Structure formats: C-alpha cells, structure tokens
A = this chain, B = another copy of it.
Amino acid sequence: MIVILKPEATESLVKDIVSQIESLGLQAHLSRGQFRTVIGVVGEEVKVDPEHLKSINGVEQVVPIMKPYKLASREFHKEDTVIEIACPQGGVVKVGGPHCVAIAGPCAAEDEAMVFQLAREVKQAGATVLRGGAYKPRTSPYSFQGHGEDALKWLRDAGRENNMPVITEVMDTRHVQIIEKYTDIFQIGARNMQNFNLLFEIGRTRKPVVLKRGLAGSISEWLMSAEYVLSQGNRQVILCERGIKTFEQSLRYTLDLSAVPVVKQLSHLPIIVDPSHAAGDRQYVPSLARAAIAAGADGVMVECHDNPAKAMCDGPQALLPDVFASLMKDLIAIAGVLRRSFSGAADSTSRQSAGAAMGHNVF
C-alpha cells in the first residue's frame, strides 16, 4: 500500500502515520519528493484498512498494491481451477482449463412436459448441463415468479433422464436448503452479486456455484463476491459474464467480453458467458456466443424454448433448439482453433465420432 500525502502535510502528520503503520507490525518506507511525501507500507497490507488512512486529514490518496481478494487471486493459485460436476448417471462435466461447458435450457421451468422435452433437445444439440428457473427474479411484482419446488423436481428428473447436471437460481437465504436438495449447481443472479448473506450461505454448501456479474459490478467487486463464497470453504466458483449497464441501449445490456481475458489474468477461476440475458433478443445470441468462446471463455449458458412467443418469461431471447444445435457446431469449431474442447459433448451419442476425434487432437 502506498500513502500519498497532500503537499501541505506536516512533519508531525508524517510521524503519526508512520507510527500507526509500525504499530501494526509493518514497515514504512518514506520518499520525500519535490512536491509531496509518499509512504510505502511493506508487509501484509491486509492488516491496514485503507479507509482509516484515507480518513486522516493530510492524506491525499491511498494506492493498494495487493488485490483485495486472495483466495480468488491467481497470484496465490497459479493453475487454472477445473471444476468437476458429477452427472446423475455417472461421468463428470468439467469446466475450466481446456474444458468448455455448454449449459442450456428454458428461462423458467414452465411445466413438467416442456422441461423434459427441452432437456432432450438441448442434450441432443450438445449441451451437457441443464438450466431452468424455479424461483424467478422479476422486475415487476405482478409477473410470474416461478413454480418453486415443483419446478425443482421437474428439473432434477429431466436431468436424470438425460444424465445432465442441473443448475437453478437461488435468490433468498431461506431457499438455500430446499434448492440444495434438488440442484447440482447453484446460480447466483446478477442482482444478487452483492447479496452478501446469500454469498456466505452458498459458501457454506459444498455444491458448485455460477456467480453472475452484477449489472454495475466492476471486475474487482465481482472477484470480491467470489471471495465471499471461497472464504467459507466452497472453492467451486464459476464466474459468469452477462452484460453491464452502459449508455448503449440497442441491446438490453452491454456484454463485456474483455472481462474474459481480464478475469483469466487476475484469477484462476473459470469464467463462462451468458449471451441470452445480455442481448435480450435471440437474433444476436449466436454472434455473441461465438465471440465469447473465441475470447477464451470456459463455456456459455444459453436460453432455449420450443415456442418463444408462449414463453412465461424472456421469450424474445430464447433460441429454438435447432438454432442452438447449429450454434454448438460453430462453438466446437472455434474452441478447436484455441485448442480447447467441449469435453462433455462427446457423451452425446449423436456427436460421438466428432467428439472422439476432438478428444485426440486437443490435449
């Protein structure tokens, strides 16, 4: 940490700050410049609260050198984390390192039949994890809020039938226990990226979590939210970029694909991309999904529906299953250019040969 003093800072202020730093078992290095004095703090800077130092009259700026997160940081964990998710009938889906994941399914689990139908279709198209909403965060209190535990059962059963792990969103600390009974992966939505108590609770479970980036979440804040989960012992965090709020309003949000290489540089955690919520309009989803994989993302999460005009939520962004199937072919090819693969895709009988071939030339 570096403390930059105001030009008018007195000698006694300098002494006072130095002694505060030393009383914490740290060393203070002074540089007196022509215009300002600068104090370098040497040691574990996590011991000093930068806000305390900033609150002192005479301090102009405090520049942290270390990242505020540790468990999420690549500095202390050089290798990519690879998360393995057990499939209900055996096998695992891997996310991270050389492994990309394709997650697909409906926005909301609307009824049992549609969940089973879509699960089969997205599996056939190459998805290896099934998504679906049971508790839905809706902007309006008058909108459909999800089918709750019934939906959780449909998803679990459809996942079992197709040997796909299931992911569903948790919005409330009171729901963690019931959702944990049914789901393989928790999803924390963009609006809950800084719901800190929820992060703590999910951190105390032992199931993987997809942590979406908040609409106003800086990459640093997002990694701090991951740190909340990691700090409780749950090390299976997958980050998910899904768009931020900017002045550009031609799509619902602005997908920040720069986040992919930046997160890779700062953290060892896998990062996937949700192009559906970013775009809010199906015609842009394939382009953004391709760009995500080319940017180096560890997977995509895509919403599908057999009849978008009848969807109970987010119909405009849902892909028809056959469009998704065609997209998957492009994604697999682009991943191949980067010497990566959608590992689980090989389990799908329809893709057996391609998958096997890919298995050879990739790692």
Contact = CB atoms under 8 A, between A and B. Distances in A.
A40 B51 contact: no
Contacts of A51: 311, 313-316
Interface string A256-273: 111111100100000000
A218 B248 CA distance: 6
A258 B261 contact: no
Given A29-B31, A40-B38, A216 B218 contact: no
Interface in A13-51: 29, 31-36, 38, 40, 42-44, 46, 49, 51
A295 B309 CA distance: 26
Interface stretch (A87-95, A158-166, A331-339, A343-351): A331-339
A310 interface: yes
A33 to B, nearest CB: 5
A279 to B, nearest CB: 7
Interface stretch (A61-69, A97-105, A109-117, A126-134): A61-69
A326 interface: no
A55 interface: yes
A246 B215 CA distance: 11
Given A34-B43, A141-B232, 9 more contacts: A68-B140, A137-B196, A141-B224, A172-B173, A215-B216, A218-B248, A218-B250, A247-B247, A260-B291
A207 interface: no
A317 to B, nearest CB: 9
Interface of A: 2, 4, 7, 29, 31-36, 38, 40, 42-44, 46, 49, 51-52, 54-56, 63, 65-66, 68-69, 75, 137-143, 145, 171-174, 191-192, 194-200, 214-216, 218-221, 224, 227-228, 231-232, 244-251, 254-262, 265, 278-279, 283-284, 287-288, 290-296, 308-311, 313-316, 318, 330, 333-334, 337-338
A337 B327 CA distance: 11
Q: Tell me the interface secondary structure of chain A in the complex.
A: mixed
A247 B216 contact: yes
A308 B59 CA distance: 13
A197 B224 contact: no
A194 B172 CA distance: 12
A33 B42 contact: yes
B173 A174 contact: yes
Contacts of A333: 337
A197 B145 CA distance: 10
A250 B139 CA distance: 18
Contacts of A292: 291
A195 B196 contact: no
Nearest to A193: B191
A173 B174 CA distance: 8
Contacts of A245: 216, 245, 247
Contacts of A43: 33-34
Contacts of A314: 51
Contacts of A295: 287-288, 290-291, 294
Contact of A55 (B140, B287, B315): B315
Contacts of A278: 258
5 contacts: A35-B75, A52-B310, A218-B247, A261-B283, A291-B291
Contacts of A221: 139
A9 B249 CA distance: 24
